[in-house]
A = this chain, B = another copy of it.
Amino acid sequence: MERHFDEELQALKLQLMKMSALAEAMIGEAVRALVDRDEKVIATVYEREKEVNHLQVVIDEMCLTLIALHQPAAGDLRFILGAAKTNSDLERLADQAVNIVDKTTKLLQEPPLRPFIIIPKMATLVRAMVRDSLHAFVNRDTKLAGAVLIRDDEVDALKRQITVELSELMTKDPGSVSRALALILIARNLERVGDHATNIAENSIFVVEGRDVRHHGG
């Protein structure tokens, strides 16, 4: 009753896409909970986390089964190892949504500090990076992967900007310290989402070109 290798590889890709869509949605929801001060969305994020954790186990087992049953050729083997690594990155970037809602729960107990501008911008950016990095991975699209790598600099610049602005605010207004610190840490959670997308993009180049761009020095 063994399925054909290509069929199983396709099933693996579908599960990765499902997991990526879930993780990306969680990031969007976490930031929406913060910006719209919507506590109901927080519960959704915690619910989805369980689903992501389950998918991670399923995908790892699919990778193991694919290798054990089909002894794939070098290129496919590289893809499956890349898939297992991408799987870890997706699970960990979804964890960042949980980190964000953990802080949001506390933030909603106090009045908002100032209008949200940079955090929603960062969220939009890193969500697109997640989407594109996964797309690059499953479609072995190195051009798209390269485009993801470049966008990480934008994310870093926004993180630096919000850190400077909120540090200034903390210095001027001691009453802002706990909220400003929470927002700085949320910006860093989003930065980490971008880092994971970058890892996935690097995995995809490694799979296709058989060369390692993770330490390309730029």
Report which A residues bind B (CB closer than 8 A). Answer: 50, 53-54, 56-57, 60, 63-64, 67-68, 71, 74, 77-78, 81, 84-85, 88, 163, 167, 170-172, 174-175, 177-178, 181, 184-185, 188, 199, 206, 212, 214-215
Q: Is the CB of B214 within 8 A of A56?
A: yes
Write the chain B residue with the least CB distance to A61.
B212
Taking the nearest CB of chain B, how far is it from the CB of A96, in angstroms? Answer: 12
Write the chain B residue with the least CB distance to A199.
B88
CB < 8 Å: which of B68, B85, B181 contacts A84?
A: B85
In the assembled complex, which residues on chain B have CB atoms less than 8 Å from the CB atom of A163?
A: 181
Write the chain B residue with the least CB distance to A181.
B167
A53-B214, A215-B54 known; A63+B81 contact, CB < 8 A: yes
Q: Is the CB of B78 within 8 A of A64?
A: yes
In the complex, A74→B60 CA distance in Å?
13
Q: Is the CB of B88 within 8 A of A64?
A: no
Q: Is the CB of B68 within 8 A of A74?
A: yes
Taking the nearest CB of chain B, how far is it from the CB of A128, in angstroms? Answer: 23
Write the chain B residue with the least CB distance to A178.
B167
In the assembled complex, which residues on chain B have CB atoms less than 8 Å from the CB atom of A184?
A: 181
CB < 8 Å: which of B53, B64, B199 contacts A215?
A: B53
Taking the nearest CB of chain B, how far is it from the CB of A94, in angstroms? Answer: 12
In the assembled complex, which residues on chain B have CB atoms less than 8 Å from the CB atom of A50?
A: 215
In the assembled complex, which residues on chain B have CB atoms less than 8 Å from the CB atom of A78?
A: 64
List 19 A-B residue pairs with CB atoms under 8 Å apart, sorted by A's residue number: A53-B214, A57-B212, A64-B78, A64-B81, A67-B67, A68-B74, A81-B81, A88-B88, A88-B199, A167-B181, A170-B170, A170-B177, A171-B174, A171-B175, A171-B177, A172-B174, A174-B174, A181-B181, A181-B184
